[in-house]
Structure formats: C-alpha cells, structure tokens
Structure 1
C-alpha cells in the first residue's frame, strides 16, 4: 500500500510513532525523504509513503480507496491513531460476527481502514 504526503519526513515520523517501527527503506539517502517504506506484521506487509508531487492519481482528503489492514485489538489501535492526531471518519462498525471495521484519516489526508476479521485471523493462526 502506498500513501501520499506533502511532507514525507513528517509523515515518516508520524507513522514511526503510531506503528512503533522505523522505515526500512528511504529515498533519497541524502536530504529530505521523498519516499519511505515500512514492513508491518508477521507477513511483513509493506506500507509506503510517497511525496504527493510524484502521484499519478488524485491525492488529498477523500481521494483514492480505503485499504484495510487487520489489527488484533481494534479499540486500542483506533485510540492509538486518534491519540497521534488521526481523525475517525467511520467509527467501529460491526460487519458480522467477530468482524468489525473503522476508518481514520491520517494528518496527511490518507484514509486508512482498520479491521478485525475472524477469516483473516483463522488464515494466519489467530
């Protein structure tokens, strides 16, 4: 998943604080970052943050799609994002037994989906 930000260094700091991991990849190596990438979870899923100037699609609040990623504790994760400055766009919504989603907007205008899903958990030993 690739997100955009007008200020990639600020976004990198924000995501480092929220996710508790440092980016493993940054470009350019010298000067302000124009792209950073994090690896998340047991599957090492990649989350990239790219300078919005390089996007070939519409960027900004409400643009694009919402990509959901699975979290073990949705209320705690949602609170962590809110404490870090994210805005709840869609509060936790039960979609089925054990399956709940929420959507937040990060400070850079990206929409992020959070999900607890028994299907994902079962497929990944949870």
Structure 2
C-alpha cells in the first residue's frame, strides 16, 4: 500500500556544488552527506541529490513510501508497470525501487524506517 510522498531525488553533475546550492536554497545543512547521495530533511520530507543520472526537467524522481517495498513493486508491475530498478538496499535500512508506468514515467518506491510522519507539515 502506498503511504504518501517521502522523497524527491534530483540528479546533479557536481554533487559538492549542488549540495552548497541546495543548502543555501533550503537554509539548512544536509542530514546525510556522502559522495553517492546527499539528503536534506525539509518539512518531514526528503530532498535528495545523486551524482549520476541526467539533470533536466525529466530528471527528478518522486519516491512514494511503502511498508513492504518488495510486495508493492510486485503489485505495481502486476498492474502493467515495467521494472526499472529492483528494490535495492541503499544503506541505513532504506530500500528504493523504480518502475516505469505504462506511459514511460518513472515511479519511485521507498522503504525508509527513519521517516517520521509526525514531522510532516
């Protein structure tokens, strides 16, 4: 079952420069800062940066929360989605997956045990 929006990830070409820019835009430091991923907590949601992928208007992926990423991936693929990236542990107990919808859009799923619904405002 989809629980709600959790994360939007933006691909960037220079993660250090993008981290500094988003830190200025958001007025806060990232809570997670590694060469492969930078995460900012914003109003209970996450804005993430990745150093791979292609920046541009089609580059961001919204990740929808789920308590069972494997079952939800299977369910959505069964409804006609195409597996783009299987459920993958990205560290800290967090797993992500992505599915292409029947129209070619990327639909992201995330299991994040650290997500605090009480922070959503």
TM-score, normalised relative to structure 1: 0.47
